[in-house]
Amino acid sequence: MSGHEKAIEAFVLASPPASDSEAASDHSPNANSPDSPTVVNREWSTKASFWRWFHPNDGPAERRLVTKLDVSILAFACAGFWSLYIDRGMYNNAYISGMKEDLQFYGNQYVQINSIFLIGYAVSIIPLTLINTRAPPQIVIPVCMAVWGLATSLGARAQSYGELAGYRFLVGLGEGAFFPSIHYVFGSWYRPDELARRSGLFYVAGSVGTISTGFLAGRIYADLDGALGHAAWRWMYLVGGVIALPIALFGILTFPGTPQHPNKRLFREDELALARARLAAMGRRSTRKASLVFSLSSVRRFVGRWHVWVLVPWSIVYQQGYLAMLQGTYTLWIKSVAGSHHYSTATVNNLTAVPPCAAIVAIVLFAWVADRFGVRARLPLFALAHTVAFLGLVAFVAYDHSPFAYKWFGVAVSNVENAMVPVMYSWANLICTDDAEERAFVLSAMLAFAMAFNSWVPILSMPTVEAPRYFKGYLVCLLMQPVALALAFLVDYLHRREVQKKARAAGDEAEGSA
């Protein structure tokens, strides 16, 4: 009998059939032996600490395993996402720090390069994320990271709009798979009651990257402008890209991969057996290594369920709701008021850190509430995020009639809707929990199609020549808030119905076998 089979057998033998009272309690102390994997979808005790990291029923061996996973996954994931947002944000900061004038940008070329970047991003997401189901993620993800780091650094030598556009396309190709691939890895190791907090901390790293970009760009402008004969904006690209390279090497050495393709330098066989037993307890029993060729039957399986047809449109609408933030329009507004409020270029760069600072608070709070209260918390959290985003967008839709302080409120809360993305992707991970390939496909498709829309919608709704008012763009973002919330309710309804259907089928099967 293999170690995996022994771990599952130990789990089954240690878990006697629950009585009705035990079934009603998701945290029954008799549900597990101390070192066995715990049952999924349990509500936490009302007496449990809100900030508790482990579930009260987690045994010593499981806590050691989860701690090792947290350190190995989150260290690389957070460092990589931090670097990604630095590389992405350097374009906006370089633009307001002299690049526009040096490369003679005109018309809508600022937003056009953003769209070119997003095209590269969108086309790479699905194929590269799916590769993680067939090849070691500890190799695939760091290689992609090295590509975007090198391409960002090459931006320092750009002499024209066209050359920079080519480099930004390559940055997009490298970055595309990172976010959904990390979420795929999260879903490959963690239980449902563990997912949102890890996803939230991962997402915080992006906000920290945005904050770091503002402060880093400010210091580069102050200290390196003209150094070795190069303008500050060129140093921004060079420094931002170089940061990614050692993190990529770190990932190759320390990222755990998945239970199907583990980094065996990190785990003993008994730890992998326990990890796979945790997956078995969640209904994920396939640990086989598949070939790199995807069959047509796999694609038919993906598109034959409601998951892709609802989750992907939801993601598209959701991202259109905070498209203004993604396009850096708030940065351009801060620059537009710099003269009248006596902001220096360094100060403008520093002020771009305000929205991500607010986002960090929202991300952590939303993620902990989602894990602590489970399914009950999802819709109220989405309603709160969309309401705050709606109120902030009103300040810019009514640009000529809203006071300066209200606009700053809109800037400060511009990332709050974005703060629910970890909860959204954690939810999608759970919805597709039974099929690893579908999970990778749906997670990547959610991002890919949203980014595909992001590559052309801003050209129509947020042309650079309309900065900083962007009436059409802000109006689109505002109108997406109620639509995205309605889709969240639809996802909740369909997911509940599916769970109930599976429960009835399991009950019928149990009765038939009896």
Choose between 394 and 503: higher pLDDT. 394
Note the pLDDT of residue 291: 47
Instruction: Enter the DSSP assignment of 357.
Output: H
Choose between 379 and 327: higher pLDDT. 379
* Closest C-alpha among 149, 168, 143 to residue 158: 168
Check: CB of residue 176 under 8 Å from CB of residue 128.
Answer: yes
Note the pLDDT of residue 486: 98
Position of tokens 């902030």? 392
Phi-psi region of 118 (alpha: psi -120 to 50; beta: other; left: phi over 0): alpha
* pLDDT for 139 beyond 90: yes
Could you give the 3-state DSSP secondary structure of residue 310?
helix
Q: What is the CA radius of gyration of the chain?
A: 24
- Please give the average per-residue pLDDT across 144-154, as a whole number: 95
Check: CB of residue 127 under 8 Å from CB of residue 214.
Answer: no
CA distance 147 to 152: 9
Note the pLDDT of residue 283: 66
**Structural domains of the chain ordered from first start:** 60-283+296-505 (1.20.1250.20)
Q: pLDDT tens digits, residue range 349-395? A: 788 888 888 888 999 899 889 888 888 899 999 999 999 999 999 99
* pLDDT for 153 beyond 60: yes
Q: pLDDT tens digits, residue range 462-486? A: 988 898 999 999 999 999 999 999 9
Helix residue ranges per DSSP H, 14-99 = 20-24, 60-69, 75-94
Could you give the 3-state DSSP secondary structure of residue 363?
helix
| Residue-level length of the chain | 514
- Please give the average per-residue pLDDT across 36-48, as a whole number: 45
- Please give the average per-residue pLDDT across 392-405, as a whole number: 95
* Closest C-alpha among 233, 405, 393, 407 to residue 333: 407
Note the pLDDT of residue 390: 97
Task: Name the band, by pLDDT with cuts 50, 70 and 90, for residue 69.
Answer: very high
pTM of the model: 0.78
Number of helices (H) and strands (E), helices first, in the chain?
Answer: 24, 0
- The mean pLDDT value of the chain amounts to 84
- Please give the average per-residue pLDDT across 110-136, as a whole number: 90
* pLDDT for 31 beyond 80: no
Tell the burial category of 226 from Cβ atoms under 10 Å away from its Cβ (0-12, 13-18, 19+): exposed
- Please give the average per-residue pLDDT across 243-247, as a whole number: 95
Note the pLDDT of residue 206: 85
Task: Name the band, by pLDDT with cuts 50, 70 and 90, for residue 3.
Answer: very low
Residue 232 in tokens: 């500050």
Of the chain, the percentage scoring pLDDT greater than 90 comes to: 48
Helix residue ranges per DSSP H, 291-374 = 296-303, 306-321, 323-326, 329-336, 345-351, 354-373
Helix (H) or strand (E) holding 383: helix 375-397
